[in-house]
Amino acid sequence: MTKTILITGATAGFGAAMARQFAEAGWRVIGTGRRAERLRAVADEYGADRFHAAAFDIRDAAAMDAALSSLPESFREIDVLVNNAGLAIGNAPAPRAKLEDWLTTIETNVTPLVRLTHKLLPKLIERKGLIVNLSSVAATYPYPGGNVYGATKAFVTQFSLGLRSDLHGTGVRVTSIEPGLCETEFTLVRTGGDQAASDALYKGAHPLTADDIAGAVLWIANLPPHVNINRLEVMPVSQSWLGTQIFRDPQE
Ligand code: NDP
Ligand code: 8X3
């Protein structure tokens, strides 16, 4: 039987790679994001019966409602929800960070994820579905400038674990995916469009690719129904931990 997956943030990076991998694997895919033309291109490629484009700003509750209530009949039986849309803005340490950037990060990474999950839970319970949430290694390992972004991802991880607990006995599976360095548009967005900074970050690092993460999600979605991956932390081989920092008082 053909299954249906809803992927937020399907216009770029992980979400776009997931949309393609699931469509190619024969799933019905609902892809969201603000850039409608990118969603349309995927729909043109795979056909309207395989890919449904739902273009809206994830922070806009009314637009989310409208997109869900106007799903074509054949896309309504959602089996898998991937809460992927998200961003970081800037990497300034807290004393120099802009409050506006912090609030946008929280309003993008946290509230819509909770809202969409709450809306789709009855359907996911009915269908013994799967929820995959995109957290990050930043949820576990703090780094200078990670501040609010890392905190939003810690929320995503903990919410995922809490959902697992609350969904005990329902058959619904929940996974928190926690990737490290992966080359997508993430750094372009984080730096306000600085392609050179993005290229410099990934140069020579052999970062993860969006297809690596999409492949992991496809694997999880195809596991037998009694298997739950609680958390999946994935880094490129080139990335590991440096340790803590120590400030020494120059007066002593
Ligand atoms: P990209 O910037 O490549 O893609 C982000 C996606 O999120 C886009 O499709 C974008 O769509 C969507 N999005 C962002 N803001 C909004 C909004 N307001 N409304 C609707 N959609 C929105 O980043 P990644 O693919 O790398 O990131 C995907 C997820 O993975 C994020 O949650 C990120 O935090 C997480 N992650 C990324 C890592 C990395 O190193 N790349 C590592 C760990 C986690 P559009 O702009 O068209 O609206
Ligand atoms: C993105 C990975 O290390 O830039 O979540 O925070 S990192």
Q: How far is CA 48 from CA 40, 61, 77, 153, in A?
A: 9, 25, 16, 33
The predicted model gives 152-172 an average pLDDT of: 98
Angle at 81 between CA 132 and CA 107, to 5 degrees: 80
**CA nearest to 129, candidates 31, 22, 220, 10:** 220
The pair of three-digit structure tokens given for residue 2, joined into one six-digit string: 């053909």
Q: What is the mean pLDDT of the chain?
A: 98
pLDDT of residue 55: 98
CA of 186 to the centre of ligand 1 (A): 6
**Tens of pLDDT along 71-102?**
999 999 999 999 999 999 999 999 999 999 99
Pocket flag, ligand 1, residue 179 (CB < 6 Å) = yes
Q: How far is CA 101 from CA 66, 95, 194, 226, in A?
A: 27, 13, 16, 41
**CA nearest to 32, candidates 16, 48, 49:** 16
> What is the pTM for the complete model shown?
0.98
Percent of the chain with pLDDT over 70: 100
CA of 226 to the centre of ligand 2 (A): 31
Pocket flag, ligand 2, residue 134 (CB < 6 Å) = no
Pocket flag, ligand 2, residue 138 (CB < 6 Å) = yes
Residue owning the nearest CA to atom 2 of ligand 2: 180
Separation of CA 24 from chain center: 20
Enumerate the active-site residues.
149
pLDDT of residue 94: 98
pLDDT of residue 80: 99
Q: Is 23 helix (H, G, I), strand (E, B) or coil?
A: helix
**CA nearest to 91, candidates 142, 31, 28:** 142
Q: Is 237 helix (H, G, I), strand (E, B) or coil?
A: coil
What is the C-alpha separation between 252 and 241, in angstroms, rounded? 29
Residue owning the nearest CA to atom 6 of ligand 2: 138
Residue owning the nearest CA to atom 30 of ligand 1: 134
Sign of the torsion angle spanned by Cα atoms 48, 52, 55, 60:
positive
The pair of three-digit structure tokens given for residue 104, joined into one six-digit string: 């946008």
